C-alpha cells in the first residue's frame, strides 16, 4: 500500500504566499527524483497553516526521501527551508486503506 506524507507548517514572518509557492515549486525537482514518488500537492488554510502532501509507493520510500533531504547537497531545497517556520513543522505518514476515483 502507498503512503501519504503530510507536512504541516507555517511560514516565517514576512514570507508571502507567492514566495512560499515558488519555493515549493523549486523543490519539486528534488521530490520528483526520489525513488517511490507518486504525487504531491500543496494547500493552505485561511489562517496561514500550510500542508505539503506527498504520496510515496511505501513508507520505506518516504523515509529514504526524508533522509536524503539535505539543502547543502540539493540547493533546490534552500528556498523551501528558508521560508518555513521550523518550530511549527510536523510530519505524519498515513498508509492508504482505500481509494476512490
Task: Flag whether pLDDT at 47 surpasses 90.
Answer: yes
- 4-18 pLDDT tens trace: 999 999 999 999 999
Contact at 8 Å (CB) between 88 and 31?
no
Torsion of CA 21, 101, 1, 49, to 10 degrees: 30
- 59-96 pLDDT tens trace: 999 999 999 999 999 999 999 999 999 999 999 999 99
Amino acid at each position: 500500500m502507498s503512503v501519504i506524507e503530510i507536512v504541516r507548517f507555517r511560514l516565517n514572518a514576512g514570507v508571502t504566499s507567492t514566495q512560499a509557492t515558488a519555493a515549493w515549486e523549486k523543490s519539486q525537482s528534488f521530490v520528483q527524483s526520489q525513488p517511490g514518488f507518486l504525487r504531491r500537492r500543496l494547500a493552505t488554510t485561511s489562517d496561514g497553516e500550510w500542508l505539503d502532501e506527498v504520496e510515496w509507493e511505501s513508507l520505506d520510500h518516504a523515509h529514504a526521501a526524508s533522509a536524503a533531504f539535505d539543502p547543502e547537497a540539493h540547493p533546490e531545497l534552500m528556498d523551501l527551508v528558508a521560508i518555513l517556520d521550523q518550530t511549527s513543522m510536523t510530519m505524519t505518514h498515513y498508509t492508504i486503506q482505500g481509494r476512490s476515483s
